[in-house]
Chains A and B, each alone.
Chain A
Amino acid sequence: MNPLVAIGASVLAGFAAIGRVARFAGTALLRLLQPPWYPAQWFNQMLVIGWLSLPVVGLTAIFTGSALAQQIFIGGSRFNAASTVPAVTVIGVVRELGPVLGGLMVAGRVASAMAAELGTMRVTEQIDALVTLRTDPFRWLVAPRILAAVLVMPVLVLVSNALGVMGGWLLATQRLGFNSAQYLATTARYLEADDVISSLVKSAVFGFFIALMGCYHGYRSGGGAAGVGKATTNAVVSSFILILLANLVITVIVFGS
């Protein structure tokens, strides 16, 4: 086959996929604008996404914050700049590691679970049953998941940021000989409003992509258990990529100039 044809075909397929996802997202968001709403579903999803993700996100943050502080200390010592540990740790955690690692951990937990749940509902005809019982699956299943993820992710990432900084502080004071009060004062001095705002914006965007990919792949799943497995994998991989891409874009927009 002509290579140009092959390239053209895959580019077109890519655009078609983006179109389908955008349409899916648009449909779900439109449903949020008018009743009927199912607030019980919203709260349930917030609990599932937020509360149940807290342990894994928290542990990730503590470990990574500590490791980051250790590395900055090692690297900084070479230039006589070991005192930058608190400042660089807080910036690193709040701007990048908190939201990105939090997002990836939640994507691994939640996007996969959503895709598996909706995919199973699809292949066992539960989604068809919803429709015949006059309940719009976008309202009942998709919109609550997206809304909950967008609202809950920033809270989760705030906690994650705090724990990440705490991890760095623990390591620095226990192992590296930093003074606790000074460490915290430096941390507070170097933390700016922009850092926190960008962190929150990132996490909300990540939450949106996590729920969108989980629901999209699950909803369109087919082909029995194997199809659900494939949907789950696709949901995780695509939400990972979207998170990393969105992170880059937001970072460049907010901090690039």
Chain B
Amino acid sequence: MTIPRIQLAGLAKRFGSRQVLAGVDLAVMPGESLVIIGGSGTGKSVTLKIILGLIAPDSGSIKVDGHEVVGLKGAALDAHRARFGMLFQGGALFDSLPVWRNVSFALEGSAASRRAAAIDNLARVGLGPEVADLKPSELSGGMQKRVALARAIAPRPPIIFFDEPTAGLDPITAAVINDLIRELATQLKITALTITHDMHSVRTVADRVAMLHGGVIIWQGPLASLDGCDNPYVRQFITGSAHGPIQMPGAR
């Protein structure tokens, strides 16, 4: 049996009185593309940040290639993080640096070679070389998101997290991004963990889908089983219905 690339067991996190994660169990296999779906505020972004060691979990275990990473410090934590790329939900571009320096931030080498690599990665997310010297604040929201995506994939880390990669993009650009993530997983054997609300994205990108609700994974399975799934939460989510077991405060 292969060891999962990432294995979460009993992951719990509480902010003040809000128990956001209440024992998340989830495994991602090497080279697999897993998509996490779930309502707004259910802790999807928090889960990614906990795996990256940006937020400390209250309890639970995270194993990467079989090694426990909760509580890592110093050089070991750096080595752990070096294996990940992360697309933040809000982009998180460095607004003091031009686009090309953002994209090539984690790359080594001469300025000329880093710039060339940046332009190359920008092309992969559908942006031309003319944006390379702009500041992030001079770009539209969707363009910023794509620059952030280029930055996340530029070092070709073995594991990449995409937090809502297509949010705020037009359908055509979104399709380009979905294909790119699919390609990274299929061709470069990159393990991808994607959060999205976009069902079109789910269908292009996912090998497997997991749904987070109430602080736990309430359903997971291969993409093919998503439509036939009879879990009422998943059904409500994929049909986008206001009626079902998931109730929004204020809805009636």
Contact = CB atoms under 8 A, between A and B. Distances in A.
Interface of A: 117, 121, 124-126, 128-135
Contacts of B183: none
Contacts of B237: none
Contact of A128 (B49, B85, B95, B105): B49
Chain A CB count within 10 A is highest, among B81, B88, B92, for: B92
Interface string B60-103: 00000000000000000010011011101110111110000000
Given A134-B106, A135-B105, A129 B88 contact: yes
11 contacts: A124-B90, A125-B89, A125-B90, A125-B92, A128-B49, A128-B54, A128-B88, A131-B54, A132-B52, A132-B84, A135-B105
Given A125-B90, A132-B85, 8 more contacts: A117-B96, A126-B93, A126-B94, A129-B86, A129-B94, A132-B54, A133-B105, A135-B106
Interface residues of B, number: 20
Contacts of B82: 134
Nearest to B107: A133
Nearest to A135: B105
Majority SS at the chain A contact face: helix
Contacts of A131: 52, 54, 81
Contact of B95 (A126, A130, A132, A133): A126
Nearest to B77: A131
B105 A132 contact: no
Contacts of A130: 94
A117 B94 CA distance: 11
B90 A132 contact: no
Contacts of A126: 92-95
A177 to B, nearest CB: 52
Contacts of B90: 124-125
Contacts of A129: 86, 88, 92-94
Contacts of B85: 132
The 7 closest A-B pairs by CB, nearest first: A129-B92, A125-B92, A133-B106, A132-B86, A125-B88, A128-B54, A133-B105
B106 A128 contact: no
A128 B81 contact: no
A124 B94 CA distance: 9
Most chain B beta-carbon contacts within 10 A, residue among A124, A132, A134: A132
Contacts of A117: 96
Contacts of B54: 128, 131-132
A126 B88 CA distance: 9
B161 to A, nearest CB: 9
Interface string B37-72: 000000000000100101000000000000000000
A131 B94 CA distance: 12
A132 B93 contact: no
A126 B96 CA distance: 11
B153 to A, nearest CB: 12
B92 to A, nearest CB: 4
Nearest to B82: A134
Nearest to A125: B92
A135 B94 CA distance: 12
A130 B93 CA distance: 9
B236 to A, nearest CB: 30
Best-buried of B54, B82, B84 by chain A (most CB within 10 Å):
B54
Contacts of B151: 133
B152 to A, nearest CB: 9
Given A124-B92, A126-B93, A134 B86 contact: no
Contacts of A124: 90, 92
Contacts of B84: 132
